Amino acid sequence: MAKRVLIVDDALIMRKRIRDIAERAGWEIAGEAANGAEAVEMYRQLKPDLVTLDIVMPEVDGVEALKQMIAADPDAHVVMVSAVDQREKLTECIESGAMDFIVKPFDVARLQGLFEKHLAA
Residue 89 covered by a domain: yes
**58: exposed, middle or buried (C-beta count within 10 Å: 0-12, 13-18, 19+)?**
exposed
pTM: 0.93
Q: 103 is in which domain, residue-wise?
A: 4-116
Residue 70 covered by a domain: yes
Residue 121 covered by a domain: no
Question: What pLDDT was estimated at residue 68?
Answer: 97
Helix (DSSP H) and strand (DSSP E) numbers for the chain: 5, 5
CA distance 57 to 115: 22
Q: CA end-to-end span of the chain, whole Å? A: 14
Question: What pLDDT was estimated at residue 16?
Answer: 96
**CATH code assigned at 67:** 3.40.50.2300
Residue 46 covered by a domain: yes
DSSP 58: S
| CA distance to 11, 54, 73, 108, 112, per residue, from 115 (Å) | 20, 16, 20, 11, 5
Question: What pLDDT was estimated at residue 17?
Answer: 94
26: left (phi > 0), else alpha (psi -120 to 50), else beta?
left
Question: What pLDDT was estimated at residue 96?
Answer: 94
Measuring CA to CA, which residue among 52, 56, 63 is closest to residue 17?
52
Number of domain units in the chain? 1
Q: Tell me the average confidence (pLDDT) per consecutive run of 10 residues in the chain, 121 residues long.
A: 92 95 94 97 97 93 96 95 78 91 85 83 66
Question: What pLDDT was estimated at residue 84?
Answer: 65
Question: What pLDDT was estimated at residue 14?
Answer: 93
